[in-house]
A and B are shown apart, each in its own frame.
Chain A
Amino acid sequence: MDALIEIERLTRRFGDFTAVDNVSFRVARGDVLGFLGPNGAGKSTTMRMLAGFMPPSAGRARICGHDVQSDPLAARRLLGFLPEGAPTYPDMTVGAFLRFVAAIRGFRGAERTERIDHAVALTSLGTVMLQPVETLSKGFKRRVGLAQALLHNPPVLVLDEPTDGLDPNQKHEVRTLIARMAPDKAIVISTHILEEVDAVCSRAIIIANGRVVADAPPAKLALLHPSGRLEDVFRQITAPPQPVTQAA
Protein backbone atom coordinates (compact mmCIF):
# COMPACT_ATOMS: atom_id res chain seq x y z
CA MET A 1 0.00 0.00 0.00
CA ASP A 2 1.40 3.35 -0.98
CA ALA A 3 0.76 5.93 1.69
CA LEU A 4 0.09 9.28 0.02
CA ILE A 5 -0.09 11.07 3.36
CA GLU A 6 2.50 10.34 6.00
CA ILE A 7 2.49 12.13 9.31
CA GLU A 8 5.21 11.27 11.78
CA ARG A 9 5.22 12.35 15.41
CA LEU A 10 3.77 15.73 14.49
CA THR A 11 3.76 18.15 17.41
CA ARG A 12 2.78 21.77 17.71
CA ARG A 13 3.19 23.88 20.81
CA PHE A 14 1.88 27.40 21.38
CA GLY A 15 3.93 28.59 24.34
CA ASP A 16 3.29 26.08 27.12
CA PHE A 17 0.20 24.71 25.46
CA THR A 18 0.62 21.62 23.30
CA ALA A 19 -2.08 21.76 20.65
CA VAL A 20 -0.97 18.67 18.76
CA ASP A 21 1.03 16.05 20.61
CA ASN A 22 2.98 13.38 18.78
CA VAL A 23 0.37 12.59 16.16
CA SER A 24 1.33 9.94 13.61
CA PHE A 25 -0.76 8.36 10.88
CA ARG A 26 -0.62 7.33 7.25
CA VAL A 27 -3.33 7.48 4.65
CA ALA A 28 -3.15 5.30 1.56
CA ARG A 29 -4.78 5.75 -1.82
CA GLY A 30 -8.42 4.71 -1.57
CA ASP A 31 -8.71 5.62 2.08
CA VAL A 32 -11.04 8.26 3.46
CA LEU A 33 -9.90 9.22 6.91
CA GLY A 34 -12.40 10.87 9.19
CA PHE A 35 -10.70 13.15 11.65
CA LEU A 36 -12.85 13.53 14.74
CA GLY A 37 -12.50 15.33 17.99
CA PRO A 38 -14.03 17.97 20.21
CA ASN A 39 -13.50 21.64 19.35
CA GLY A 40 -9.97 22.68 20.20
CA ALA A 41 -8.66 19.11 20.12
CA GLY A 42 -6.09 19.98 17.45
CA LYS A 43 -7.84 18.89 14.25
CA SER A 44 -7.38 22.13 12.34
CA THR A 45 -3.85 22.59 13.64
CA THR A 46 -2.92 19.12 12.40
CA MET A 47 -4.48 19.84 9.02
CA ARG A 48 -2.67 23.18 8.78
CA MET A 49 0.62 21.45 9.43
CA LEU A 50 -0.23 18.75 6.90
CA ALA A 51 -0.95 21.46 4.32
CA GLY A 52 2.43 23.03 5.07
CA PHE A 53 0.85 26.26 6.27
CA MET A 54 1.92 25.98 9.88
CA PRO A 55 5.43 24.82 10.69
CA PRO A 56 5.38 21.99 13.25
CA SER A 57 7.32 22.25 16.51
CA ALA A 58 8.49 18.70 15.93
CA GLY A 59 7.83 15.85 13.56
CA ARG A 60 7.14 15.89 9.85
CA ALA A 61 4.41 15.52 7.29
CA ARG A 62 4.78 14.21 3.75
CA ILE A 63 2.44 14.33 0.79
CA CYS A 64 3.22 11.74 -1.88
CA GLY A 65 6.73 11.55 -0.44
CA HIS A 66 7.34 15.31 -0.50
CA ASP A 67 8.05 16.86 2.87
CA VAL A 68 5.63 19.78 3.28
CA GLN A 69 8.28 21.94 4.95
CA SER A 70 11.43 21.21 2.94
CA ASP A 71 9.73 20.67 -0.44
CA PRO A 72 6.57 22.75 -0.06
CA LEU A 73 5.76 23.56 -3.68
CA ALA A 74 5.88 19.95 -4.87
CA ALA A 75 3.72 18.90 -1.92
CA ARG A 76 1.17 21.68 -2.51
CA ARG A 77 0.80 20.86 -6.20
CA LEU A 78 -0.44 17.41 -5.19
CA LEU A 79 -2.72 18.69 -2.47
CA GLY A 80 -6.24 20.06 -2.52
CA PHE A 81 -6.85 21.87 0.74
CA LEU A 82 -10.04 23.31 2.16
CA PRO A 83 -8.97 25.46 5.13
CA GLU A 84 -11.12 25.85 8.22
CA GLY A 85 -14.13 28.09 7.50
CA ALA A 86 -13.57 27.79 3.72
CA PRO A 87 -12.01 31.26 3.32
CA THR A 88 -12.36 32.95 -0.07
CA TYR A 89 -11.84 36.53 -1.22
CA PRO A 90 -15.18 38.20 -0.53
CA ASP A 91 -15.00 40.82 -3.32
CA MET A 92 -14.28 38.33 -6.08
CA THR A 93 -16.95 36.62 -8.10
CA VAL A 94 -17.00 32.84 -7.94
CA GLY A 95 -15.82 32.66 -11.55
CA ALA A 96 -12.97 35.12 -11.04
CA PHE A 97 -11.87 33.34 -7.89
CA LEU A 98 -11.79 29.92 -9.55
CA ARG A 99 -9.99 31.36 -12.58
CA PHE A 100 -7.39 32.85 -10.26
CA VAL A 101 -6.81 29.55 -8.44
CA ALA A 102 -6.73 27.61 -11.72
CA ALA A 103 -4.16 30.03 -13.16
CA ILE A 104 -1.99 29.70 -10.05
CA ARG A 105 -2.33 25.93 -10.43
CA GLY A 106 -0.78 26.39 -13.86
CA PHE A 107 -3.79 25.80 -16.10
CA ARG A 108 -4.29 27.98 -19.16
CA GLY A 109 -6.69 28.52 -22.00
CA ALA A 110 -9.07 25.71 -22.87
CA GLU A 111 -7.72 23.40 -20.18
CA ARG A 112 -8.38 26.03 -17.55
CA THR A 113 -11.98 26.49 -18.69
CA GLU A 114 -12.43 22.73 -18.74
CA ARG A 115 -11.05 22.29 -15.22
CA ILE A 116 -13.23 25.06 -13.85
CA ASP A 117 -16.33 23.71 -15.60
CA HIS A 118 -15.65 20.28 -14.17
CA ALA A 119 -15.14 21.53 -10.60
CA VAL A 120 -18.21 23.77 -10.90
CA ALA A 121 -20.29 20.84 -12.09
CA LEU A 122 -19.07 18.64 -9.23
CA THR A 123 -20.01 21.26 -6.64
CA SER A 124 -23.17 22.59 -8.40
CA LEU A 125 -21.96 26.19 -8.53
CA GLY A 126 -23.14 26.90 -12.07
CA THR A 127 -25.83 29.38 -11.04
CA VAL A 128 -23.62 31.68 -8.97
CA MET A 129 -20.52 32.05 -11.15
CA LEU A 130 -21.02 35.80 -11.59
CA GLN A 131 -21.89 36.55 -7.97
CA PRO A 132 -19.37 38.01 -5.55
CA VAL A 133 -18.52 35.43 -2.91
CA GLU A 134 -19.61 37.74 -0.07
CA THR A 135 -23.20 37.70 -1.32
CA LEU A 136 -23.43 33.92 -1.16
CA SER A 137 -24.96 31.76 1.55
CA LYS A 138 -22.75 29.72 3.84
CA GLY A 139 -23.40 26.54 1.90
CA PHE A 140 -22.37 28.11 -1.40
CA LYS A 141 -19.21 29.57 0.15
CA ARG A 142 -18.28 26.14 1.43
CA ARG A 143 -18.77 24.69 -2.04
CA VAL A 144 -16.63 27.43 -3.60
CA GLY A 145 -13.86 26.36 -1.20
CA LEU A 146 -14.47 22.77 -2.19
CA ALA A 147 -14.39 23.56 -5.91
CA GLN A 148 -11.08 25.35 -5.41
CA ALA A 149 -9.62 22.25 -3.73
CA LEU A 150 -10.82 19.92 -6.51
CA LEU A 151 -9.76 22.02 -9.51
CA HIS A 152 -6.51 20.23 -10.21
CA ASN A 153 -7.85 16.75 -9.40
CA PRO A 154 -5.19 16.23 -6.71
CA PRO A 155 -4.24 12.78 -5.39
CA VAL A 156 -4.46 14.11 -1.83
CA LEU A 157 -7.43 15.99 -0.40
CA VAL A 158 -7.44 17.59 3.01
CA LEU A 159 -10.85 19.03 3.83
CA ASP A 160 -11.50 20.81 7.08
CA GLU A 161 -15.22 20.44 7.79
CA PRO A 162 -16.34 20.19 4.16
CA THR A 163 -20.04 19.84 5.00
CA ASP A 164 -20.32 22.51 7.69
CA GLY A 165 -23.17 24.90 6.87
CA LEU A 166 -24.63 22.73 4.11
CA ASP A 167 -28.26 21.65 4.14
CA PRO A 168 -29.04 17.91 4.27
CA ASN A 169 -29.30 17.63 0.48
CA GLN A 170 -26.00 19.37 -0.06
CA LYS A 171 -24.38 17.28 2.66
CA HIS A 172 -25.55 14.20 0.85
CA GLU A 173 -24.15 15.51 -2.44
CA VAL A 174 -20.76 16.26 -0.92
CA ARG A 175 -20.62 12.85 0.71
CA THR A 176 -21.49 11.18 -2.57
CA LEU A 177 -18.81 13.26 -4.25
CA ILE A 178 -16.20 12.23 -1.68
CA ALA A 179 -17.21 8.58 -1.94
CA ARG A 180 -16.96 8.77 -5.74
CA MET A 181 -13.47 10.29 -5.64
CA ALA A 182 -12.25 7.99 -2.89
CA PRO A 183 -10.84 5.10 -4.96
CA ASP A 184 -8.01 7.16 -6.56
CA LYS A 185 -7.25 9.54 -3.74
CA ALA A 186 -6.13 9.76 -0.17
CA ILE A 187 -8.67 11.92 1.60
CA VAL A 188 -8.72 13.40 5.10
CA ILE A 189 -11.87 15.12 6.28
CA SER A 190 -12.53 16.61 9.67
CA THR A 191 -16.07 16.69 10.90
CA HIS A 192 -18.34 16.88 13.89
CA ILE A 193 -21.03 14.87 12.21
CA LEU A 194 -20.60 11.28 13.24
CA GLU A 195 -23.10 9.85 10.77
CA GLU A 196 -20.84 11.30 8.08
CA VAL A 197 -18.01 9.11 9.32
CA ASP A 198 -20.23 6.08 9.00
CA ALA A 199 -21.33 7.16 5.55
CA VAL A 200 -18.04 7.98 3.83
CA CYS A 201 -15.01 7.14 5.94
CA SER A 202 -13.06 3.93 5.67
CA ARG A 203 -11.21 4.83 8.83
CA ALA A 204 -11.65 7.22 11.73
CA ILE A 205 -9.18 8.86 14.04
CA ILE A 206 -10.41 10.46 17.23
CA ILE A 207 -8.18 13.15 18.61
CA ALA A 208 -8.52 14.70 22.06
CA ASN A 209 -6.23 17.23 23.71
CA GLY A 210 -3.86 16.94 20.77
CA ARG A 211 -3.44 13.17 21.05
CA VAL A 212 -4.75 10.34 18.91
CA VAL A 213 -7.01 8.36 21.22
CA ALA A 214 -8.59 6.02 18.70
CA ASP A 215 -7.74 4.91 15.18
CA ALA A 216 -9.90 2.26 13.55
CA PRO A 217 -12.54 1.67 10.88
CA PRO A 218 -15.84 3.23 11.99
CA ALA A 219 -17.57 -0.12 12.38
CA LYS A 220 -14.86 -1.38 14.66
CA LEU A 221 -14.78 1.89 16.57
CA ALA A 222 -18.48 1.66 17.24
CA LEU A 223 -17.94 -1.63 19.08
CA LEU A 224 -15.95 0.16 21.78
CA HIS A 225 -19.20 1.13 23.47
CA PRO A 226 -21.84 -1.41 24.46
CA SER A 227 -24.48 0.57 22.57
CA GLY A 228 -22.55 0.18 19.31
CA ARG A 229 -23.13 3.83 18.47
CA LEU A 230 -20.29 6.04 17.32
CA GLU A 231 -21.72 8.95 19.23
CA ASP A 232 -21.45 7.11 22.54
CA VAL A 233 -17.92 6.00 21.71
CA PHE A 234 -16.98 9.59 20.90
CA ARG A 235 -18.37 10.85 24.19
CA GLN A 236 -16.81 8.04 26.16
CA ILE A 237 -13.39 8.63 24.66
CA THR A 238 -13.24 12.41 24.56
CA ALA A 239 -15.14 13.41 27.70
CA PRO A 240 -12.40 14.67 30.04
CA PRO A 241 -12.87 12.49 33.17
CA GLN A 242 -13.14 9.21 31.27
CA PRO A 243 -10.05 7.01 30.85
CA VAL A 244 -8.43 7.00 27.43
CA THR A 245 -9.05 3.97 25.25
CA GLN A 246 -6.78 2.85 22.44
CA ALA A 247 -8.42 0.89 19.70
CA ALA A 248 -6.60 -1.73 17.76
Chain B
Amino acid sequence: MVDFDVRLGLTPADLALRELQIRRPAEYVPLNPDDSPELRVIQANFPDDIVSSRLFRGEKTIVVKKTNIVAICKLLYQSPETNYNYLSDMTAVDRLKFMKDDEPRFEIVYNIYSMGTFQRFRLKAQVSEDDQTIDTVESVWPNANWVEREIFDMFGITFNNHTDLRRILMADDWIGHPLRKDYPLGGEEVEFTYNVRGK
Protein backbone atom coordinates (compact mmCIF):
# COMPACT_ATOMS: atom_id res chain seq x y z
CA MET B 1 0.00 0.00 0.00
CA VAL B 2 1.44 3.33 -1.03
CA ASP B 3 1.35 6.09 1.54
CA PHE B 4 -0.28 8.91 -0.37
CA ASP B 5 0.57 11.51 2.22
CA VAL B 6 4.26 11.45 1.45
CA ARG B 7 5.16 14.84 0.04
CA LEU B 8 7.22 13.66 -2.83
CA GLY B 9 7.42 17.15 -4.23
CA LEU B 10 9.34 18.50 -1.28
CA THR B 11 12.47 16.40 -1.14
CA PRO B 12 15.57 18.44 -0.25
CA ALA B 13 17.10 17.73 -3.65
CA ASP B 14 14.00 19.04 -5.38
CA LEU B 15 13.97 22.17 -3.27
CA ALA B 16 17.63 22.86 -3.96
CA LEU B 17 17.02 22.44 -7.67
CA ARG B 18 14.14 24.87 -7.61
CA GLU B 19 16.26 27.43 -5.78
CA LEU B 20 18.78 27.23 -8.59
CA GLN B 21 16.23 27.85 -11.28
CA ILE B 22 16.32 31.39 -12.53
CA ARG B 23 12.84 32.81 -12.73
CA ARG B 24 11.66 35.78 -14.62
CA PRO B 25 10.43 38.42 -12.20
CA ALA B 26 6.68 38.78 -12.13
CA GLU B 27 5.13 42.16 -12.68
CA TYR B 28 2.75 42.59 -9.80
CA VAL B 29 0.10 45.23 -10.40
CA PRO B 30 -2.80 45.35 -7.92
CA LEU B 31 -6.27 46.14 -9.24
CA ASN B 32 -7.36 49.74 -9.27
CA PRO B 33 -10.85 50.20 -7.76
CA ASP B 34 -11.64 52.82 -10.41
CA ASP B 35 -11.21 50.29 -13.22
CA SER B 36 -12.65 47.32 -11.45
CA PRO B 37 -16.31 47.25 -10.40
CA GLU B 38 -15.66 43.79 -8.93
CA LEU B 39 -13.16 45.19 -6.42
CA ARG B 40 -15.48 48.09 -5.58
CA VAL B 41 -18.41 45.77 -4.96
CA ILE B 42 -16.49 43.36 -2.78
CA GLN B 43 -14.73 46.19 -0.91
CA ALA B 44 -18.03 47.84 -0.09
CA ASN B 45 -19.60 44.71 1.33
CA PHE B 46 -16.81 42.39 2.49
CA PRO B 47 -13.75 44.60 3.05
CA ASP B 48 -12.09 42.15 5.46
CA ASP B 49 -12.33 39.22 3.06
CA ILE B 50 -10.04 40.54 0.33
CA VAL B 51 -6.58 39.02 0.52
CA SER B 52 -5.05 40.46 -2.64
CA SER B 53 -5.87 41.49 -6.17
CA ARG B 54 -3.91 41.47 -9.37
CA LEU B 55 -4.06 42.72 -12.92
CA PHE B 56 -1.93 40.54 -15.15
CA ARG B 57 -2.01 40.64 -18.97
CA GLY B 58 -5.40 42.33 -18.84
CA GLU B 59 -6.96 39.63 -16.65
CA LYS B 60 -8.46 40.64 -13.35
CA THR B 61 -8.02 38.42 -10.31
CA ILE B 62 -9.16 38.87 -6.73
CA VAL B 63 -8.17 36.47 -3.96
CA VAL B 64 -10.60 36.22 -1.06
CA LYS B 65 -10.97 34.23 2.14
CA LYS B 66 -13.31 31.29 1.90
CA THR B 67 -15.65 32.21 4.80
CA ASN B 68 -18.14 34.29 2.80
CA ILE B 69 -17.54 32.78 -0.61
CA VAL B 70 -21.20 32.07 -1.40
CA ALA B 71 -22.24 35.59 -0.40
CA ILE B 72 -19.46 37.11 -2.51
CA CYS B 73 -20.41 35.01 -5.52
CA LYS B 74 -24.05 35.94 -5.10
CA LEU B 75 -23.04 39.58 -4.86
CA LEU B 76 -21.03 39.40 -8.08
CA TYR B 77 -23.98 37.70 -9.76
CA GLN B 78 -26.68 40.06 -8.55
CA SER B 79 -24.92 43.40 -8.47
CA PRO B 80 -25.92 45.34 -11.62
CA GLU B 81 -22.37 46.68 -11.93
CA THR B 82 -20.86 43.22 -12.36
CA ASN B 83 -23.66 40.75 -13.19
CA TYR B 84 -21.51 37.65 -13.59
CA ASN B 85 -24.29 35.27 -14.54
CA TYR B 86 -22.25 32.52 -16.17
CA LEU B 87 -19.83 30.18 -14.43
CA SER B 88 -17.51 29.40 -17.27
CA ASP B 89 -15.17 27.14 -15.39
CA MET B 90 -14.01 26.32 -11.93
CA THR B 91 -10.89 24.56 -10.77
CA ALA B 92 -8.38 24.28 -7.97
CA VAL B 93 -4.64 24.74 -7.74
CA ASP B 94 -2.44 22.88 -5.30
CA ARG B 95 0.31 25.37 -4.45
CA LEU B 96 2.30 22.85 -2.41
CA LYS B 97 5.52 23.20 -4.36
CA PHE B 98 6.04 26.91 -4.02
CA MET B 99 3.91 28.19 -1.17
CA LYS B 100 5.43 29.76 1.89
CA ASP B 101 4.76 28.11 5.24
CA ASP B 102 2.06 30.51 6.36
CA GLU B 103 0.18 30.47 3.05
CA PRO B 104 -2.88 28.29 2.49
CA ARG B 105 -2.21 25.31 0.29
CA PHE B 106 -5.14 25.31 -2.12
CA GLU B 107 -6.79 27.93 -4.26
CA ILE B 108 -10.24 27.43 -5.71
CA VAL B 109 -10.47 29.35 -8.97
CA TYR B 110 -13.84 30.61 -10.22
CA ASN B 111 -13.68 31.66 -13.84
CA ILE B 112 -16.83 33.72 -14.25
CA TYR B 113 -18.28 35.60 -17.18
CA SER B 114 -20.98 38.14 -17.79
CA MET B 115 -23.33 37.53 -20.70
CA GLY B 116 -24.33 41.19 -20.57
CA THR B 117 -20.97 42.96 -20.72
CA PHE B 118 -18.87 40.08 -22.11
CA GLN B 119 -16.36 40.57 -19.30
CA ARG B 120 -14.38 37.77 -17.73
CA PHE B 121 -13.23 37.77 -14.15
CA ARG B 122 -11.31 35.40 -11.92
CA LEU B 123 -12.18 34.96 -8.27
CA LYS B 124 -9.96 32.84 -6.08
CA ALA B 125 -10.72 31.47 -2.64
CA GLN B 126 -8.05 30.19 -0.31
CA VAL B 127 -8.41 26.78 1.30
CA SER B 128 -5.87 25.75 3.92
CA GLU B 129 -4.52 22.27 4.40
CA ASP B 130 -5.92 21.99 7.94
CA ASP B 131 -9.49 22.53 6.84
CA GLN B 132 -9.98 21.27 3.31
CA THR B 133 -13.57 22.34 2.92
CA ILE B 134 -15.39 25.18 1.23
CA ASP B 135 -19.06 26.01 0.70
CA THR B 136 -20.65 25.04 -2.57
CA VAL B 137 -21.77 27.75 -4.99
CA GLU B 138 -24.43 25.54 -6.54
CA SER B 139 -27.09 27.94 -5.30
CA VAL B 140 -25.57 30.72 -7.44
CA TRP B 141 -24.58 28.80 -10.58
CA PRO B 142 -26.23 25.35 -10.87
CA ASN B 143 -23.51 24.04 -13.17
CA ALA B 144 -21.05 24.22 -10.27
CA ASN B 145 -22.37 20.76 -9.38
CA TRP B 146 -20.18 18.80 -11.76
CA VAL B 147 -17.07 20.97 -11.57
CA GLU B 148 -17.14 20.82 -7.80
CA ARG B 149 -17.41 17.05 -8.04
CA GLU B 150 -14.37 17.13 -10.30
CA ILE B 151 -12.41 19.24 -7.81
CA PHE B 152 -13.40 16.86 -5.01
CA ASP B 153 -12.30 13.95 -7.16
CA MET B 154 -8.99 15.45 -8.23
CA PHE B 155 -7.98 17.46 -5.15
CA GLY B 156 -9.94 15.98 -2.26
CA ILE B 157 -11.50 19.29 -1.26
CA THR B 158 -14.94 18.79 0.26
CA PHE B 159 -17.81 21.09 -0.62
CA ASN B 160 -20.24 21.79 2.21
CA ASN B 161 -23.95 21.43 1.40
CA HIS B 162 -23.23 19.93 -2.02
CA THR B 163 -26.18 17.87 -3.24
CA ASP B 164 -24.28 15.04 -4.86
CA LEU B 165 -20.64 14.98 -3.83
CA ARG B 166 -18.98 11.87 -5.23
CA ARG B 167 -16.22 11.08 -7.66
CA ILE B 168 -16.91 11.94 -11.27
CA LEU B 169 -13.93 11.05 -13.46
CA MET B 170 -12.01 8.50 -11.41
CA ALA B 171 -13.47 5.14 -10.38
CA ASP B 172 -15.54 5.08 -7.20
CA ASP B 173 -13.01 2.94 -5.35
CA TRP B 174 -9.99 4.99 -6.35
CA ILE B 175 -7.56 5.88 -3.59
CA GLY B 176 -6.01 9.33 -3.49
CA HIS B 177 -6.58 12.52 -5.44
CA PRO B 178 -4.51 12.56 -8.64
CA LEU B 179 -4.01 16.27 -9.27
CA ARG B 180 -2.48 16.95 -5.88
CA LYS B 181 1.18 17.73 -6.16
CA ASP B 182 2.10 15.07 -3.59
CA TYR B 183 0.27 12.34 -5.46
CA PRO B 184 2.96 9.90 -6.55
CA LEU B 185 3.37 9.61 -10.28
CA GLY B 186 3.04 5.95 -11.04
CA GLY B 187 5.15 3.78 -13.25
CA GLU B 188 6.92 0.59 -12.54
CA GLU B 189 10.68 0.46 -12.49
CA VAL B 190 12.10 -1.63 -15.29
CA GLU B 191 13.75 -4.69 -13.81
CA PHE B 192 17.41 -5.21 -14.57
CA THR B 193 19.84 -7.57 -12.93
CA TYR B 194 21.01 -4.88 -10.52
CA ASN B 195 17.61 -3.86 -9.22
CA VAL B 196 15.74 -7.14 -8.95
CA ARG B 197 14.83 -7.42 -5.33
CA GLY B 198 14.02 -10.65 -3.53
CA LYS B 199 14.13 -12.80 -6.60
> Does B bind A?
no
- Residues in chain A within 8 A of chain B (CB atoms): none
